[in-house]
Structure 1
Amino acid sequence: MAFWHRWTKQRPASPGRVIDQDGVPVLAKAAEPFADLSELGRYITQHGIRVVDPGVPLANYAGTAAAMNVWETQPSVRKVVDYIARALSTIPWHVYERVSDTDRRRVTDHPLALLLANPAPAVPPSRLWHSVIVDWLIHDRWCLQVLPNADTASGWELRRKPARRMHVLADDDDQPAALYLISSRGPAEVVPLPGPYLFDHGYATVGADGTSPMETMQQILAEQSEAVEWRRSVWRNGARVPTVIERPKEAPPWSKTAKERFQAAFNAFMGRGSAAGGTPILEDGMKLVTVESFKPRDTEDIEGRKLTDAEVASSYHIPPELVGAREGTFSNLDAFRQMLYTHSVGPDITMLQDVINTMLVPLIAPGTNLYVEANVEAKLRGSFTEQATILQTATGAPYMLRSEARTKFNLPWVDGTDELVTPLNVLVGGLASPTDTAPPPALPKGQGRPA
């Protein structure tokens, strides 16, 4: 790639002997340097220039670096992406066996279940999935390598391949054909697919490497950067109060020394020293006059940040209220929380689940009826009071042993507490729930109920 910096884009000049990819003579061009690798990559693609072993399009390298810079420098992106990643990475994965169409059994001792419970020896499961999901949300692609490991309970481990070090190579139909893995210890490796990897990518107009959302939001983020820089300049250079100093005409002329002394004294009140924010001492009949210019509230710092937060949240299909970009009430925040795991990130959960079931299960559990499902219900549970009310109504009777209730408060076990206590007013075929009222008494034969 060292020679690519010498390439230049061309503009028509005079006829020459330049030949295009079809052998047709074209006009000679005057040299003009490219602005960056992205422009060079687009030029090569548009003009059909063939490159020996093209590998990954040049624009992808520039896009990867730009996306990494956004994560580090844009608070709105980091706030929203981290919110989604924390929500998704803490969802537990459960393994089930499909016994029949009407029977499913949870599996906990199979290597697949053990691997999902502890995917990497030195990395907590939630932290591993958090990094993977951040790769996905920032770069629109992610990758995990499946490696045998005799030191783990499952005999396997999952190792993350950072998005900056992996690209998806596609065939002529933009279908994934191989993984391009960059290593700092040697040359890049091209791994044909299918292989011992879990990966996914979003849509791309060319190829199968995905399209970073940072490219789509670059105008919004650029506006935010300019706004922050402008506000910083205003607060650094602008007067602390919107006033000017007027000196009367009849005042004696200032000497250079007197003017510099006064200016130095006044700057002390505008600076960051011990006198900053105090009251300046004026002389020679001077007075402060208010002018209609910049006011501190004109920067609208908080409003501008909330607007950017809302735009980024909407780009990731997240209600802005959940990240504090808009005011919310208790009722609608609870509704948004329920929507988060269904309408907002529900499709993302399904896509992760599909990758695991189509790529990991055949590797770890070939020829079985096992499948993996995200336990989303664990994130949608209400308070203990709400759960108790719902379960008691659904079962029609008490559902917890006294010994189980004692463990909720870390109390020791007591003999005789391992039996389910059923109140006398709860009978099978009688009351539907202990919260129901008793049925009305039967009336003597021939007597009707009062109106």
Structure 2
Amino acid sequence: MSRRRNRQKFAHAPANMTEQQIVAKDRRLMLQDGQAWASFAGFDNHAGKTVTLNSALQLSTVWACIRLTAQAVSCLPAGVYDKAEHDSREKVDDDLSDLLCESPNEDQTPLEFWETQVAWLLADGNAYAEKNSIGKRLVALQPMASSQCSPYRKADGTLVYRFVDRGKMEELPREKVFHLRGMSFGGDRGLSPIRFGAQSFGSAMAMSETTGKMYGCGLQSTGFLKMPPGVKLDKEQRDQLQDIMSKFAGSSNAGKLMVLEGGMDFTPLALAPVDAQMLESLRFSVEELCRWFGMPPIIIGHAAQGQTMWGTGVEAILTAWSTLGIDPVCDRIEARVKKDLIRPTGNRRRYFEFNREALLQMDSDAKAKFLSAMTQNGLMTRNEGRGKLNLPWKEGGDALTAQTNLAPLDQLGGAGSEGAQARAAIRSWLGIKEQDLSHEQA
């Protein structure tokens, strides 16, 4: 806060309040700051667990869903383009392109910045970044934690963003905030899957905790000791036996050799049906949590019952995830960049785009088929195809080529056909002249 704003605040404060008390009062959270309180208190659920972003991320399913999607989107190369004639485009190299594709701020690379934005978008339904400008030129996008920021409509309809910075509430005008919204029914905020899925997340957390305690108890739930008929232990003997058995309880004591004396016998117990059902419920919870993030379970390494981890079926699932999971996130970012960062400059022919073809980089077979189809059908030159493979330019490779196996019927067998050219080459190699061939046919 600037000194000028501080002087205005102190001028309207009671005379008996010190400067420290005024600042402390200004830093307090208000009751209407629901988003800030929710980040600390969590969301209610019948399992009785505190569901917050930090507690949800302790579930491996949540971590994997957010991490994989954020990494997949942020790894895509991006660029700023201008629409040209004949529906073509030209790549733009200006300050905005450098900001979005090279250095969004002083600390982050483009990959780190977009990974942060997508991670917040998936977890909270909203992602925020503060616009830093010098004059009218945008120079940086500084990420803001979505758990500490929320849009707010004033009485006159003006949209501002309330940001809690170290306990102090700041208000930023909408022109200063780059806001990515997730799925919603309208309004100024996207819907948070962790908030609306609190019941599913709370149940998964409760089952995970119960499973850990069950395995941590060791022998306590694995069997019991039987004494010979007619033998009865007194209190002192029971206490001694309890002390001895405690040395073998717990997963950290697994593998120790137990010595039984006095005719005692250890009878192991099988896993109780209710415990076995709970372990099965843990498998179901993985699929349940994946639904909240639109993630096919196979992507995070969880195969449903009867499903293998390899094959064409999994390949089809990966394609569906790219189409229904990755592409909508990219479209959402591109539309927001165009609306908030490009349109204010007045250039309506300019746009920002991720290159989805980069998803083929690790699939050599799919990439080979794609490049083959593009170059053999006249949609891409050979040098453009070599550029996709990071290979050097070759002379003569800038011409568009196409196969002629679908040539018109009136051109079949003509002088310019491949068959005629091949026959002429063979006759030349054998030394047969065209006039000699004509005399023989006559």
Q: TM-score, normalised by structure 1?
A: 0.68
Q: CA–CA distance in 2 between the matches of 1:56 and 1:179?
A: 17
The one-letter code sitting in structure 1 at the alignment partner of 2:100 is: L
The one-letter code sitting in structure 2 at the alignment partner of 1:163 is: S
The one-letter code sitting in structure 1 at the alignment partner of 2:342 is: V
Q: CA–CA distance in 1 between the matches of 2:211 and 2:362?
A: 43
Q: CA–CA distance in 2 between the matches of 1:201 and 1:269?
A: 54
Equivalent position to 1:264, from 223, 227, 243: 243
Aligned to 2:105: 120
Aligned to 2:179: 199
Q: SS state of the match for residue 289, structure 1?
A: strand
Q: Deviation at 1:345?
A: 3.0
Aligned to 1:62: 37
Equivalent position to 1:166, from 149, 165, 182: 149
The one-letter code sitting in structure 2 at the alignment partner of 1:210 is: G
Question: Residues 29-65 of structure 1, C-alpha deviation per residue, up to 9 Å, x if partnerless?
Answer: xxxxxxxxxxxxxxxxxxxxxxxxx988443233333
Aligned to 1:288: 266
| Higher helix fraction (1 or 2) | 2
Q: Deviation at 1:420?
A: 4.1
Q: How does 1:343-422 map to 2 (within 5 A)?
A: 343-363=324-344, 365-367=345-347, 369-381=349-361, 383-396=363-376, 399-400=382-383, 418-420=394-396
The one-letter code sitting in structure 2 at the alignment partner of 1:287 is: D
Q: CA–CA distance in 2 between the matches of 1:406 and 1:75?
A: 36
Please state if 1:181 is matched with 2:163: yes
Change beyond 3 A, Cα 1:395–1:360: same
Aligned to 1:3: none
Q: How does 1:307-346 map to 2 (within 5 A)?
A: 307-326=284-303, 327=307, 328-346=309-327
Q: Deviation at 1:391?
A: 2.7
Q: CA–CA distance in 2 between the matches of 1:282 and 1:401?
A: 78
The one-letter code sitting in structure 2 at the alignment partner of 1:311 is: E
The one-letter code sitting in structure 2 at the alignment partner of 1:245 is: L
Q: SS state of the match for residue 284, structure 1?
A: coil
CA contact (8 A) 1:247 1:286 kept: yes
Q: CA–CA distance in 1 between the matches of 2:84 and 2:403?
A: 32
The one-letter code sitting in structure 1 at the alignment partner of 2:160 is: A
Aligned to 1:239: 219
Deviates most, 111-120 or 259-268: 259-268
Q: SS state of the match for residue 248, structure 2?
A: helix
Equivalent position to 2:116, from 119, 131, 135: 131
Change beyond 3 A, Cα 1:94–1:292: closer
Q: SS state of the match for residue 84, structure 2?
A: strand
Q: Deviation at 1:354?
A: 0.7
Q: CA–CA distance in 2 between the matches of 1:161 and 1:282?
A: 62
Question: Residues 116-164 of structure 1, C-alpha deviation per residue, up to 9 Å, x if partnerless?
Answer: 11212221111111111122112221212222369xxx97111112112
Q: CA–CA distance in 2 between the matches of 1:427 and 1:377?
A: 22
Aligned residues: CA RMSD: 4.1
Change beyond 3 A, Cα 1:405–1:134: closer
The one-letter code sitting in structure 1 at the alignment partner of 2:292 is: S
Q: Deviation at 1:359?
A: 0.6
Q: Deviation at 1:169?
A: 1.0
CA contact (8 A) 1:242 1:295 kept: no
Aligned to 1:27: none
Q: SS state of the match for residue 229, structure 2?
A: coil
Change beyond 3 A, Cα 1:383–1:245: closer
Question: Residues 203-258 of structure 1, C-alpha deviation per residue, up to 9 Å, x if partnerless?
Answer: 6689633332112211111111221222222223352673322212334x545554
The one-letter code sitting in structure 1 at the alignment partner of 2:91 is: R
Q: CA–CA distance in 2 between the matches of 1:183 and 1:299?
A: 46
Change beyond 3 A, Cα 1:245–1:89: same
Q: CA–CA distance in 1 between the matches of 2:389 and 2:89?
A: 31
CA contact (8 A) 1:98 1:105 kept: yes
CA contact (8 A) 1:63 1:215 kept: no
Q: Structure 1 regions of 5+ residues with no counterpart?
A: 1-53, 445-451
Change beyond 3 A, Cα 1:393–1:192: closer
Q: How does 1:100-115 map to 2 (within 5 A)?
A: 100-107=85-92, 109-115=93-99
Q: Structure 2 regions of 5+ residues with no counterpart?
A: 1-28, 43-51, 408-417, 424-436, 438-442
Q: Deviation at 1:310?
A: 1.4
Q: CA–CA distance in 2 between the matches of 1:171 and 1:155?
A: 26
The one-letter code sitting in structure 2 at the alignment partner of 1:166 is: C
CA contact (8 A) 1:70 1:214 kept: no
Aligned length in residues: 366
The one-letter code sitting in structure 1 at the alignment partner of 2:291 is: S
RCO (CA 8 Å, sep 6+): is it higher in 1 or 2? 2
Q: CA–CA distance in 2 between the matches of 1:171 and 1:196?
A: 16
Q: SS state of the match for residue 73, structure 1?
A: coil
Q: Deviation at 1:167?
A: 0.8
CA contact (8 A) 2:217 2:249 kept: no
Q: SS state of the match for residue 270, structure 1?
A: coil
